[in-house]
Amino acid sequence: MSTMLDRIRRVQQRELPPPPIATLMGTLHGGVLCDIADAATGLAWAATLSEGETFTTLKLKVNFLKPVRTGQLTAIARVVKGGHRIGLMECDIIDATHSGAS
């Protein structure tokens, strides 16, 4: 059995296929951005887990600052506070016109 971080790295190295949403084209409904943020923060948390440990999302809060009509999106997630059972993560979803999280 491998850790979640091992599996994430295998996707990055193209040894495993990316999730279908990673290749999605076209206009996205705002709810999809919630899914992207949930996935990104989940990956950030999963990277801290040991082999055999799992997790689930307890709460998700999203603020939309502007619409994105075209282009590639990048989700930048980070663990703000880790705990033994519960953690707090943040995620910024940016497009190519932004150089980093705001």
Model confidence pLDDT, tens digit, residues 14-44 = 999 988 877 767 666 778 888 889 999 999 9
Neighbours of 4 (CB within 10 A): 20
The two three-digit tokens of residue 32, written as one number:
């999809």
46 to each of 15, 19, 21, 58, 63, how far by Cα in Å? Answer: 19, 15, 19, 14, 23
Which pLDDT does position 69 carry in this prediction? Answer: 74
Mean pLDDT, all residues of the chain: 84
Q: Per-domain residue ranges for the chain?
A: 4-95
Q: Give me the pLDDT at residue 66, please.
A: 81
Q: What is the pTM of this model?
A: 0.74
Spell out the CATH class of 4-95. alpha beta
